[in-house]
Amino acid sequence: MNVSSNTSEAAGDKQEQTLKHYCEHHAECMKMIQAILDGEANEAEKEHFRQNMDKCMPCIQTYHLEKCIKETLHSKVERRPCPEKLVAAIKAQLSN
């Protein structure tokens, strides 16, 4: 067996042992995941989430699932401009 494969297997085993399988901050993490994927999180928030996500299996799974959903939707949705008549009607309703 190769020494490097033993090292990577040991590292993988160690990582699995240190991963949390329950997120005690699930609601906060969901908000942060959405902010990151929507491009609304600042660098400090992104870095804080990255450091914590690496230790939390539910956050890792949720992040990847949400990212996949968002990418799939973006690839499937056709963007069309809104008709000017509709824009004018909405603006008129809002100004009343």
Task: Using alpha carbons, select from 33, 65, 38, 67 the residue that is nearest to residue 50.
Answer: 33
CA 24/CA 19 separation, integer angstroms = 13
Q: Is residue 1 predicted with pLDDT exceeding 70?
A: no
- Domain parsing of the chain, residue ranges: 21-95
CA 24/CA 56 separation, integer angstroms = 10
Q: Is residue 12 predicted with pLDDT exceeding 80?
A: no
Contact (CB, 8 A) for 66 and 34: yes
pLDDT tens profile 40-88: 999 999 888 888 878 888 888 999 999 999 999 988 888 888 899 999 9
Check: pTM over 0.85? Answer yes or no.
no
